[in-house]
Amino acid sequence: MNRIRKGIRKLYYYLMGCILGRFMYSKTYFPKGRWFATWKSQGWEWIIPDFWSRVFWGHHRGIKWPVSPYIKIGGRNIVFDVDDLNNFQSNNCYFQSYDANIEIGHGTYIAPGVGIITSNHDVYDLTQRSGAADVVIGKGCWVGMNSILLPGVELGDHTIVGAGAVVTHSFPQGYCMVAGNPAKMIKELDRTRFTEYNDDRNLVKKIYYNDSFE
């Protein structure tokens, strides 16, 4: 009986998602990638909450991909892989890209409460922003809960950012763990132990398309 209920619920989200998503999102993002691979995929469940938040609260109007009602996106200059739409479902995140770009590499995970900021308030006129610079995150990174990435920060591939870190400068070499305020490198990581997601799509399919992940 539980399997039947689960199947009916999945089918409902799929059918409603097909209808609403075609009006709300760009074909660049929908329905593409691992989150919409089958009618049972988790991505379909993101669409209805996003729809109601746009209609009643005015959230994320103009954003062309699924976004949780519980995060904030300021600006649309965000570059990411369609397989990583899950990063816009982590509660209490803030993506601020009014004046510069945020680039997120494939296979990167962003935890709840993360802030990524491309410009600050002008200290002499708080109604204006200044110091805009791109924030670039490499592939296969993990940005821990409640951490903050400030304007101009570049993180190389496979950088791990500890929870609560404030990243004020770049770690372009990657393959390291950083933590603290301001963040400092606390450990180098062994390059030979990483799976390069972009070079092995079969592994990605094996991990993310199975029923246990859903």
What DSSP element (H or E) covers 12?
helix 2-24
- 46 pLDDT band, cuts 50/70/90, is very high
Single pTM value for the model: 0.85
Topology of domain 70-191+198-214, CATH: UDP N-Acetylglucosamine Acyltransferase; domain 1 (2.160.10)
What confidence tier does 5 reach under pLDDT thresholds 50, 70, 90? confident
**Is the CB of residue 164 less than 8 Å from the CB of residue 145?**
yes
Predicted local distance difference test score (pLDDT) of residue 192: 85
Delimit the domains of the chain by residue range.
1-65, 70-191+198-214
Mean pLDDT of the chain: 90
Omega before 112 within 30 of 0, i.e. cis: no
